[in-house]
């Protein structure tokens, strides 16, 4: 597990950018953290690092649920906050996205935790990069990065810099 602290949105963008530049097609990033923690801000950086044009505006998918961009590879940015029922979650076509040759970034991945088995995610998700964000102060954010079951991935992601 790796920890980073940022003190403003710019630092969070840079942190995201470092990670984004190391991601490859097929990677899945799960972003845990409360409202306003900085999940969307970090995603904006990840997208830049993954080759998205800096003039592309990365909106929060709060209402669209799924936004798709074209970086070096396709990038899906997903926000599950508003989803309530199992049915809503299952009807999004997430499985196809997660297992595609794209980078997938998911806010509120708690919604994918299996009801029956709290240690497991839906769709058989195993390999993933978990990022947990904690608000330490108004502008201070702590990020922990945990690659989970990524031993077969060819290139290491960490250290980030
Ligand atoms: N260090 C920081 N990194 C990221 N955002 C920060 C930081 N400090 C303050 N903020 C503020 O926190 C909010 C983060 O918003 P956002 O990225 O949309 O959060 P989330 O997607 O987790 O709900 C923004 O209003 C931003 O200005
Ligand atoms: Mg958000």
Which one of 3, 41, 81 would you pick to mutate in the ligand 1 pocket, going by the greatest count of ligand atoms within 8 A of its CB?
41
The model's pTM is 0.96
| Cβ of 111 below 6 Å from ligand 1 | no
Please state the atom number of ligand 1 nearest to the C-alpha of residue 107. Answer: 21
Dump pLDDT digits (tens) for 16-48: 999 999 999 999 999 999 999 999 999 999 999
| Cβ of 39 below 6 Å from ligand 1 | yes
| Cβ of 20 below 6 Å from ligand 1 | no
Please state the atom number of ligand 1 nearest to the C-alpha of residue 12. Answer: 3
DSSP of the chain:
-EEEEESSHHHHHHHHHHHHTT--TT-EEEEE--TTSSHHHHHHHHHHHTT--TTS----TTTTSEEEEESSSEEEEEE-TT--SHHHHHTT-HHHHHTSSSEEEEE-GGGGB-SS-TTSBGGG--SEEEEEEEE-SSS-EEEEEEEES-TT-SS---S--
Domains present along the chain, CATH in parentheses = 2-148 (3.40.50.300)
How many angstroms separate the Cα of 91 from the Cα of each of 24, 81, 133, 145? 26, 15, 28, 29
Dump pLDDT digits (tens) for 72-125: 999 999 999 999 999 999 999 999 999 999 999 999 999 999 888 989 999 999
| Cβ of 113 below 6 Å from ligand 1 | no
């Amino acid at each position: 597990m790796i920890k980073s602290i940022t003190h403003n949105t710019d630092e969070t963008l840079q942190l995201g950018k470092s990670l984004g530049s190391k991601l490859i097609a097929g990677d899945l990033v799960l972003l845990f953290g409360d409202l306003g923690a900085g999940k969307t801000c970090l995603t904006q950086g990840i997208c830049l690092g993954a080759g998205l044009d800096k003039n592309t505006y990365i909106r929060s998918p709060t209402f669209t649920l799924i936004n798709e961009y074209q970086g070096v590879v396709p990038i899906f940015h997903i926000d599950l906050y508003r989803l309530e029922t199992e049915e809503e979650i299952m009807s999004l076509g997430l499985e196809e996205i997660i297992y595609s040759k794209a980078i997938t970034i998911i806010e509120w991945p708690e919604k994918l935790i299996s009801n029956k088995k709290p240690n497991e995610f839906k769709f058989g998700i195993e390999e993933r990069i978990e990022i947990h964000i904690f608000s330490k102060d108004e502008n201070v954010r702590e990020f922990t990065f945990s690659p989970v079951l990524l031993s077969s991935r060819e290139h290491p992601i960490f250290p980030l810099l």
